[in-house]
Amino acid sequence: MSEMDQALVTEKAKPSEVPQDLVYQVDGLSKSFNLPSGDKLRVLNQANLDVARGDFLLIRGQSGIGKSTFLHILGLLDRGDQGRLLLDGQDIQKLSRTARARTRAEKIGFVFQFYHLLPEFTAVENIMIPGKIEHGPWAWMKKKKEANERARYLLDLVGIVDRADHRPNQLSGGERQRVALARALFNEPSIMLCDEPTGNLDIKTSEAIHELIAKLAAETSQTMIVVTHDPSLENYASRVLDLTDGGFVEQGTKPVAD
Ligand SMILES: Nc1ncnc2c1ncn2[C@@H]1O[C@H](COP(=O)(O)OP(=O)(O)OP(=O)(O)O)[C@@H](O)[C@H]1O
Ligand SMILES: [Mg+2]
């Protein structure tokens, strides 16, 4: 069976019942990296976590503990070695590469720790990239005008529509992060994964980005998972978790803010 056939078979598999409308069910998830010395670095060790639809999760933990690795696995950018990871009831660890890419484009908006904007493209063009990936080059030709309008709308939403035609090296750090947020929102994802969205920004700009993220979380039914060292975002989150020794420790919960 080719990989494409495999992907279709896996995709048609009926998702199992999803209790309590859970978006993610992480069950005994482990992940190690092979070090040049030949040793293994165990980053996740049978981690467990349930995430309900509409949750606003904040994940903390010391540098190098595995926060980005975990977020990459949730975002289908990497895989765990062992354990189960269900997204909307479907075991995403078992999906083929093609099916994973499609699921990612349909459901997930990812804001990377270091922006990852493409330097040769303008802000508007960077924001349209997820649409291009989702639709493929032919369908994209027809959608381009509409996509351009949506990208400008999102730039307006994040407050920098006047920078639409700037390339990343013509933008400040805070402006780049806003472009990265707008790009993550482009396909209207049901899940937003943000890795240190304000890690490289000053306090005032960080607060503005936090307010923007909180506004997005409150105004949409999106599930928001944010990795941060910045305690000021804790005011907005419904759950705060610490990643320690390869697993999660829940620090507090409160209802999602209206
Ligand atoms: N591809 C890789 N190969 C080997 N080791 C890796 C790889 N990616 C990450 N690591 C190691 O795994 C550990 C976890 O990395 P990760 O980037 O997830 O940490 P983090 O919690 O996000 O840290 P920070 O707060 O500094 O961003 C680190 O010790 C890192 O050096
Ligand atoms: Mg990180």
Residue at 256 is within a domain: no
Would the CB of 31 count as within 6 Å of ligand 1?
A: no
pTM for this predicted structure: 0.87
User: Does residue 1 register a pLDDT over 70?
Assistant: no
Domain CATH number, residue 46: 3.40.50.300
Question: How far is 36 from 66, CA to CA, in rounded Å?
Answer: 18
Residue at 211 is within a domain: yes
| Protein residue whose Cα sits closest to atom 18 of ligand 1 | 66
Residue at 243 is within a domain: yes
Would the CB of 114 count as within 6 Å of ligand 1?
A: no
15 C-alpha to ligand 2 centroid (Å): 31
- Give pLDDT, residue 9: 43
Residue at 17 is within a domain: yes
Residue at 153 is within a domain: yes
Residue at 42 is within a domain: yes
Residue 127 belongs to what domain range? Answer: 3-249
Cβ count near 149 (within 10 Å): 11
Task: Count up the domains in the chain and report the number.
Answer: 1
Residue at 254 is within a domain: no
Residue at 257 is within a domain: no
User: Model confidence over 15-42: pLDDT tens digits?
Assistant: 555 566 999 999 999 999 999 999 999 9
- The stretches of the chain forming alpha helices (DSSP H) are 3-12, 67-74, 97-107, 123-157, 173-185, 203-219
User: Model confidence over 55-74: pLDDT tens digits?
Assistant: 999 999 999 999 999 999 99
Would the CB of 122 count as within 6 Å of ligand 1?
A: no
User: Model confidence over 99-119: pLDDT tens digits?
Assistant: 999 899 899 999 998 888 999
Is there a contact between 162 and 123 (Cβ–Cβ < 8 Å)? no
Q: Which two tokens stand for residue 49?
A: 């976590």
- Give pLDDT, residue 17: 55
